Structure 1
Amino acid sequence: MIRKRLALWRLPAIAVGAAVAIGVAGCGGDSGTDEASGPAKIRVLLNAQPATLDPIAGARSAQVVWATMIEPLINTDSSLEPERTGLITDWKRSSSTKWTFTVRSGVKFSNGEPADAAAVANTLKLTRDSKTSILKPYFANVASIEATDDATVEVKTKRPQYDLPYLLTTVYLVPPKYYEEKGPEGFSAAPVGTGPYVFEEAKPGREISVKVNPDYWGDKPKNTGITFTWATEASQRLALLQSKSVDVALDLPPTQAEQARKAGLQVVETESAMKITAFLDATKPPFNKAELREAAALAINRDEIVQGIFNGKAAADAGVLNVKPGTQPVDKVTPDPAKAKELVGSSSPSVNLTYPAAQYTNIKEVAESIGASLEGVGFKVKYRSVDYGTLVKEVAGRQIDGMYLLAAVPNAAIPDFFATGFMKTASITGNCPDPKIDGLVDKAREQKDATAAQQVYDELNTLAVVDKHCYVPLYRQLYAYGTGEGVQGVVYGPLNTFDFTEATR
């Protein structure tokens, strides 16, 4: 159940979706209730429209919307560990390569299909096998998936893998027949799940709304539903919140957050699990040269970005595989512009610096700061501002070069989520192919548990970040969102999950 999954976590939201034209026409007016004192529809303002509502194909940034309707296979507790309160209620590892999962009985999708072991097995197969699957690399080690009865799924892996239950916390259950009938695009247009809300309607380019699922298997929401709209400009999000056109405005940069406080609005602000990272493509010029990757890493000062752009309201972070807020890597790169300049010499290499417009707080300013640092040591920088969807497609299609800025979000609280997703040769990014990296990723996963794997992950982080300079970790965002007068009960989990079921106004 969503409420149990996120209890104790009252943290901020992650920015979502692809940047599009401002879609705020539906923000004002109808509150979704005839009586001011009764349950109301909660109006949530995003910073961008979600690129897709298909959890098989979609980046997890959009789950703020789809997770109201579609649930993960396994819930997480307050310490980000898998717990047995969701669709999967138990699991057992009977050998190093065999897992057995127990599925909650009696649950149905909102269209009437049974949410049984066969549905779970089908979703796992889609996740492993679909060309469109965003999580495909994480399940490459899975050899077989079988529903042995209505409540049991047996999963066998090719090689030992200690973290499989963690990965299932970011797999969302879809109805087999409906998904096959509609396909990814059709499903995205009208999602069906087992969650506390059901799809109501979508006004293209304007809003997406959900209403309460009357047959939800868990606790019913305290509101009548949620309407999601979006505005790419932070100043407009603040203005709409101040004018009472929306109840919750996500992604308020420091300036707007301070203005909201002065206006008497409630602002929730905390360090998120989202880590903005600069990826260097080691397969193409100029960063196929190790000395130029090192120069770029030495040129960038993450502390200056945190202080100069975020007024200290972010947390500088020098690692990739330290997934939980508050942790730092064993080894890190210390900025050294003088050495960077020596490494570049007189070659004046050209660099494309790509970033997703409006996707992350102050990302344009961050890109410009990085560009200035690179130019200061001898690089020639060309800025490429693209929408988030385009960036993801370019990265996955190996159509990008130079440096690009992307958020690393540990949708499962394990280092392997980044190691497999970003570091392996066959990863989502594939920007730093190296057999030694591949071997360390596999070695870590084959350990008996997370404690045993940590030493390997420390070695892997040092190799990829400190020695090879394929990644320049920057900062964890101190994310802020604002709520209107009387709005209560919005709960955020650090793995990019929202719970609106307790929200009232």
Structure 2
Amino acid sequence: MLTSTKTGTFRFVLVAVLMLLLQACQAGEETTPAGANAGDETSTTASGTQTRSDEGGTDGRGGTLVVAMTAGNVPLPDIVPTEGSEGRRFVTYQLYDGLVRWDLSRDDATSVPRPGLAESWDISEDMMTWTFHLREGVKFHDGTDWNADAAVFGLDRILNQESEWYSASLGGAIATYTKKIDSYEKIDDYTLAIHMKEPYALLHWDLTWVRFASPDAVKTYGNDGYIQHPVGTGPFRFVSMEQGVNMILEPNTEYWGEVPKLDQLILRPMPEASSRLAALQTGEVNWAEVPPPESMEMLRQEGFQVLLNNYPHMWPIILNLQVEPWDNKLVRQAANYAIDRDGMANDLLGGAANPAVQFMYEGHDWYSEDGTTYSYDPEKAKELLAEAGYPDGFETVFVVPSSGSGNMWPLPMIEFLQQNLAEVGIDVEVEVMEWGALIQTYRPGFPPGENVGGVMVSTGSYAPMHAFDRNFASTSVPPAGNNKGLYDNQRVDELLREVQVASEEEFIPLMKELNSIVTDDAPWLFVVHDLNLRVVASNVKGVVMAQNWFIDLDTVWVE
């Protein structure tokens, strides 16, 4: 039974199954920190899948790309947009640049940072100061200069609470990636120094998430009005936006990098998978994020290009370790053994995901070959529940989004998971929330006084600190990070301190140990690693499915 409450949350009980590290700093002679090359590019392309659109040569140009996003609305286009990571993928990464950006040119290797608005950087011997040599001649879309003053203004906007232009919402949303920064200063017009709170060799990874807006535009329109007039240095410029309908972008013909090949980019919010499928088939759009999984073969037969690839992204249930019985490790392990991941990945999702037997996916540098893996073993799950004192199981509540950024097909997936858990005695009541409301409700953590056992928030693990510090450090409880369940393991904290100054030889073993401990402790239900499904029309060319959440639209054109 489905009922609506005044908060817009739907509560119901579902009963049936519906179905690595631095390659980028090679751009100059800058000093690299200890461990800078640990986690080099690793070929882990999804076997037997199409990871590029039909290129049709490399000199094509033009056309209008119309993207059906999973977002519930048009993302508001500040440097940290609304609509979660979907907003970052299609809006932030197109309108704005950072000092560092991702290398999205390869589909056969994990993505690594490369120079962006900084041409190169140096790291002091004690790893306390990073000096960035800024790219000269770059203009914001309003014609104003990118320089060290603009960089300081941008950092003030997210870090300096004394600044007139400080935004608490932006600063909080990006705090995971800036919490190691102590101070920063302009050295000269094109040199910026960032000073750390402690020795830190991984700042370049974190800065892939920090983007810069035009100081003149922010001062003209204010932090609130700016979202109607966004101005960055990125490959696309803002044209117009109508909430609930679309955002229109055009190429930045003065872009310092590769000028986009498209004539126009239109972003449309379509939170329902069936709507994205229909729009694709009727030609209303020529690019659709995650259409229904059962449609993939049909779409191939109709001539569409079905694109899949590995990337560090998981569909989990983040558990609330502050409520019983999820505070019991045996219970968490039992629930993980109860999940038929192969059935979900291959039968329900049609091969659009891989089983998440560990936090990191098999084939990744940080996967632990000797660590705990969660096979489908209902009998073992029952034994662990009995050992934990729950021979008859228990009741719990999970909150899931109805759709949204990176969440695949959450309703049939939670039904499948719910049935798995019911078979070992765990009775799950499901609350369904609109994605934007869920983000606002659970970004600060689990609301106090509510007996919610877990929340489904898809999670990426693109960089060392993004993967482990953000999610599992005891210092990363909201709003400082994504440790919503208040997981606390002293050894994990120790390893994270070691990782941030590790040598090349030390780095990967440390990351493997982190993955092994987190997997064994099971602060989450590790369900599936999705394969970044998107479908494009046959005349969409130049798409490269990088092993990253982000995608480079500069190379794309439409015949």
TM-score for the superposition, normalised by structure 2: 0.77
**Map 1:443-454 → 2, pairs under 5 A:** 443-449=497-503, 451-454=505-508
- Cα–Cα, structure 1 residues 177 and 273, in superposed 2: closer, same or farther, change >3 Å? same
- CA 1:487 to 1:291, structure 2 compared with 1: closer, same or farther past 3 Å? closer
Task: Supply the distance in 2 between the matched residues of 1:54 and 1:394 (Cα, whole angstroms).
Answer: 21
Count of matched residue pairs: 472
Which of residues 265, 281, 286 in structure 1 aligns to 2:320?
281
Cα offset, 1:322, TM superposition: 6.0
- The match for 2:155 is 124
The correspondence for 1:271, drawn from 306, 310, 313, is 310
1:192-207 to structure 2, matched below 5 A, reads 192-207=231-246
Deviates more, 1:44-53 or 1:200-209: 44-53
1:11–1:269 CA contact under 8 A, matched in 2? yes
Amino acid at match of 1:55: I
- Compared CA separation, residues 128 and 444, structure 1 to 2 (3 A): farther
Structure 2 counterpart of 1:150? 189
Shift of 1:437: 4.9
Q: Which residue of 2 aligns with 1:456?
A: 510
CA contact (8 A) 1:45 1:229 kept: yes
Q: Pick one of 82, 88, 97 that aligns with 1:63.
A: 88
Gaps of 5+ in 2: 1-26, 28-42, 54-59, 161-166
Residue of structure 2 in register with 1:161 after alignment: 200
Aligned twin of 2:541: 488
Distance in 2 between residues matched to 1:302 and 1:125, nearest whole Å: 45
CA distance in 1 between counterparts of 2:222 and 2:175 reads 17
Tell me what 2:271 maps to.
Answer: 232
How many Å apart are 1:102 and its aligned residue?
0.8
Query: Which of structure 1's runs of 4+ aligned residues deviate more than 4 A?
Result: 8-13, 127-130, 180-185, 321-327
Q: 2: CA distance between counterparts of 1:220 and 1:109?
A: 14
- Does the CA-based 8 Å contact 1:273-1:324 persist in structure 2? no
Give, in whole Å, the separation in 2 of the partners of 1:113 and 1:39: 27
**Equivalent position amino acid for 2:378 in 1:** P
CA–CA separation in structure 1 for the residues paired with 2:403 and 2:504: 36
Q: Which amino acid aligns with 1:70?
A: Y
Is 1:103–1:117's contact at 8 Å kept on the other side of the alignment? yes
Residues 305, 180 of structure 1: CA spacing in aligned structure 2 closer, same or farther, 3 A cutoff?
Answer: farther
Aligned partner of 2:426 among 340, 358, 379: 379
Tell me if the contact between 2:395 and 2:427 (Cα under 8 Å) persists in the aligned partners: yes
- The CA distance in 2 between the partners of 1:438 and 1:121, in whole Å, is 33
- Which of the numbers 90, 111, 117 marks the counterpart of 2:120? 90
Post-superposition offset of 1:328: 2.9
* 1:211 match: secondary structure: strand
Q: Is the 8 A contact 2:421 2:428 kept in 1?
A: yes
Distance 2:159 2:320 in 1: 26
Answer whether contact 2:221 2:229 (CA < 8 A) is retained. Answer: no
CA distance change for structure 1 residues 327 and 434 in 2, over 3 Å: closer, same or farther?
closer
Q: Which moved more, 1:452-461 or 1:121-130?
A: 121-130
Distance 1:233 1:483 in 2: 17
Q: Is the 8 A contact 1:162 1:449 kept in 2?
A: no
**Which residue, out of 251, 266, 283, partners 1:244?**
283
**Quick one: distance in 1 between partners of 2:260 and 2:61?**
13
Distance 1:12 1:372 in 2: 36
SS of the residue corresponding to residue 498 of structure 1 reads coil
Take 1:39 and 1:189, find their aligned partners in 2: how far apart are those partners? 27
For the pair 1:294 / 2:345, whether they are aligned, the reply is no
Query: What corresponds to 1:436 in structure 2?
Result: 490
> Which whole-Å deviations, capped at 9, do the CAs of 1:367-422 have from their partners, x for residues lacking one?
11211122222222110111222222232222353122222213xx4222121211
Question: What SS is found at the alignment partner of 1:112?
Answer: coil
What residue is the counterpart of 1:22 in the other structure?
Answer: none
Alpha-carbon deviation of 1:501?
A: 2.6
Quick check: 2:273–2:409 contact (8 Å CA) kept in 1?
no
Contact 1:273 1:323 in 2 (8 A): no
User: CA 1:38/1:178 → structure 2, altered by over 3 Å: closer, same or farther?
Assistant: closer
Instruction: State the one-letter code of the partner of 2:304.
Output: L
CA spacing shift, 1:471–1:104, aligned 2, 3 Å: same
Moved more, 168-177 or 88-97: 168-177
Structure 2: how far apart are the matches of 1:501 and 1:265? 21
More divergent stretch after superposition (430-439 vs 382-391):
430-439
Q: Alpha-carbon deviation of 1:494?
A: 2.5
Q: Would you say the 8 A contact 1:283–1:432 is kept in 2?
A: yes
Question: What SS class does the counterpart of residue 533 from structure 2 fall into?
Answer: strand
More off after superposition, 177-186 vs 62-71 = 177-186
C-alpha spacing 1:103/1:179, structure 2 compared with 1 (3 Å): same
- Aligned-pair distance for 1:451? 4.5
Match of 1:395 among 438, 442, 446: 442
Matched, 1:471 2:518: no
Aligned to 1:500: 553
Tell me how far apart the structure 1 counterparts of residues 130 and 236 of structure 2 sit (CA, whole Å): 31
- Residue 53 (1) aligns with residue 77 (2): yes
What percentage of residue pairs aligned between the two structures are identical? 23
Is 2:63–2:264's contact at 8 Å kept on the other side of the alignment?
A: yes
How big is each residue's C-alpha offset from its partner over 1:417-459, in whole Å with a ceiling of 9 and x where there is no partner?
1212111123223213325056225423332345423322322
CA distance in 1, matches of 2:365, 2:247: 35
Quote the Cα distance in structure 2 between the aligned partners of 1:380 and 1:183.
49
Q: Secondary structure at the match of 1:45?
A: strand
Note if 1:337 corresponds to 2:378.
Answer: yes
Counterpart amino acid of 2:453? G
SS at match of 2:540: coil
* 2:403 maps to 1:358: yes
Q: Which residue number corresponds to residue 101 of structure 2?
A: 75
SS of the residue corresponding to residue 272 of structure 1 reads coil
Give the AA of the match of 1:333.
T
Which residue of structure 2 aligns with residue 139 of structure 1? 178
Contact kept, 8 Å, 2:247 with 2:267, in 1: the verdict is yes
Q: Aligned pair 1:317/2:340, yes or no?
A: no
Partner of 1:262: 301
Seen in structure 2, the aligned counterparts of structure 1 residues 303 and 432 have a Cα distance that, compared at 3 Å, is farther
1:91-119: CA deviations, max 9, x gaps?
Answer: 11122211111110111211233211222
User: Is the aligned partner of 1:42 residue 2:65?
Assistant: yes
Unpaired runs of at least 5, structure 1: 14-36
TM-score when scaled to structure 1?
A: 0.85
Moved more, 417-426 or 282-291: 282-291
Q: Are the equivalent residues in 2 in contact too, given 1:297–1:333 (CA < 8 A)?
A: no
Q: What is the Cα-based RMSD across aligned positions, in Å?
A: 2.9
Q: 1:177 & 1:206 partners in 2: Cα distance?
A: 28
